[in-house]
């Protein structure tokens, strides 16, 4: 299994991306990585960690980097040798099996679209993010690829999300919910109102109707469908809330009495277990579903741990043939006609 890494993407690149790749290779004998980016910088990090001669780690030079503040489309046209573009081309050319892209989400989505193309029947790819809940994991999509979606995009997201959840959660018929401001089918904006009856008529997904934002952490459904604007707001709010609450608990304990500190020591193992479950870095990133290849988008703030996890998830998705499953599903649905509200 060979994974291409945009080693220059993210706030802490290339150090953390290279360190995460080293950890993944050390922990998984079947994984090889190709680090794409500035050859000298990458080699220096490998050498400092005694991995410069590791046969399962190679370097593919790319002379350019797309920054977080650059316009994705313009940057891709101007920077043909950008690390994310070159890493994507390695999958397109069947040199590698998957891509890990930290950094600019817009640049990653654009590179995947131009470099890999879309699966037949998919108008817009979606980012599928695993969200921790009280009952396990819920897949939310789209969480940032498309800010303005039409009903057909939400329907396609539901199909792809359902297939991903089957592999991720091991469920034959994962439940699907449409994120809305109320449970009633008569509520919501025009896009959601038009999407609901289409999902309700479909036989290939287990649609359970509308769900509200508070239902996501409850794990009411296995798959939550929404547009990328709403999904990204939900995702970032959830990450910020966990961070804020964790800090609030720490501050309260430190400011409390000696009995509060003793009590905290007694429940510390349980608190650590809970914090690990809620930690977004445990997920490593999210797959971009709908393109012709396994493409993982990692946080721009990714550290080595997240890069390692993203590599392992990408390897698993390749082995489970997620692209083939989505193609088959879209082929089936492509033969059906729906009254999309354009």
List the chain pLDDT tens, one digit each, 342 residues: 999 999 998 889 899 999 999 999 999 999 999 999 999 999 999 999 999 889 999 999 999 888 878 887 787 888 889 999 999 999 999 999 999 999 888 889 999 999 999 999 898 899 999 888 888 889 999 888 888 889 999 999 999 999 999 988 888 899 999 999 998 888 888 999 999 999 998 888 999 999 999 899 889 999 999 999 988 888 888 878 777 777 776 766 666 667 555 665 655 565 566 555 555 555 668 999 999 999 999 988 888 999 999 999 999 999 999 999 999 888 877 655 555 544
- Looking at residue 104, what is its pLDDT? 86
Nearest to 330 by CA among 229, 212, 220, 204: 204
CA distance 218 to 179: 14
Q: What is the pLDDT of residue 342?
A: 46
CA-based nearest residue to 205, from 163, 153, 146: 163
Q: What is the spatial distance between Cα 145 and Cα 142, in angstroms, rounded to a whole number?
A: 6
CATH code 3.40.718.10 region(s) in the chain: 1-122+290-320, 123-282
Rounded alpha-carbon distances, angstroms, from residue 227 to 21, 32, 62, 213? 32, 35, 33, 13
Per-residue CA distances from 271 to 78, 132, 144, 157 (Å): 48, 15, 30, 35
Query: Which residue carries 């896009």 as its tokens?
Result: 191
What pLDDT is stored for residue 156 in this prediction? 92
Classify domain 1-122+290-320 at the CATH superfamily level. Isopropylmalate Dehydrogenase (3.40.718.10)
Find the largest Cα–Cα distance for the chain.
Answer: 68
Q: What is the CATH number of domain 123-282?
A: 3.40.718.10
Separation of alpha carbons 87 and 97, rounded Å: 11
Closest among 21, 6, 3, 12 to 65, alpha carbons compared = 6
Cβ neighbours around 77 below 10 Å, total: 11
């Amino acid at each position: 299994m060979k994974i291409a890494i945009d080693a220059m993407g993210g706030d802490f690149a290339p150090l953390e991306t290279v360190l995460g790749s080293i950890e993944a290779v050390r922990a998984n004998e079947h994984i090889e990585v190709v680090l794409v980016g500035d050859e000298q910088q990458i080699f220096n990090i490998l050498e400092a960690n005694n991995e410069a001669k590791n046969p399962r780690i190679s370097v593919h030079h790319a002379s350019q980097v797309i920054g977080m503040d650059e316009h994705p489309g313009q940057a891709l046209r101007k920077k043909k040798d950008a690390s994310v573009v070159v890493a994507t081309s390695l999958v397109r050319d069947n040199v590698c099996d998957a891509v890990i892209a930290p950094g600019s989400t817009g640049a990653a989505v654009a590179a995947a679209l131009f470099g890999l193309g879309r699966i037949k029947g998919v108008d817009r790819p979606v980012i599928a993010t695993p969200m921790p809940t009280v009952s396990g994991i819920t897949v939310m999509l789209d969480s940032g690829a498309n800010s303005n979606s039409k009903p057909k995009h939400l329907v396609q997201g539901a199909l792809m999300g359902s297939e991903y959840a089957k592999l991720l959660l091991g469920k034959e018929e994962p439940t699907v919910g449409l994120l809305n401001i109320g449970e009633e089918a008569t509520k919501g904006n025009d896009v959601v109102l038009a999407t609901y009856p289409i999902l309700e008529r479909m036989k290939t997904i287990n649609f359970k109707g509308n769900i509200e934002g508070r239902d996501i952490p409850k794990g009411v459904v296995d798959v939550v469908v929404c547009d990328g604007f709403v999904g990204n707001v939900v995702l970032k709010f959830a990450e910020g809330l966990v961070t804020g609450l964790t800090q609030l608990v720490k501050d309260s304990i430190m400011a409390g009495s000696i009995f509060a500190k003793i009590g905290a020591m007694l429940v510390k193992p349980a608190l650590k277990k809970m914090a690990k479950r809620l930690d977004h870095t445990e997920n490593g990133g999210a797959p971009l579903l709908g393109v012709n290849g396994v493409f993982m988008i990692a946080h721009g703030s990714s550290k080595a741990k997240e890069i390692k996890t993203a590599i392992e998830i990408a390897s698993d998705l390749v082995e489970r043939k997620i692209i083939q499953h989505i193609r088959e599903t879209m082929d089936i649905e492509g033969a059906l006609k729906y009254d999309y509200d354009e």
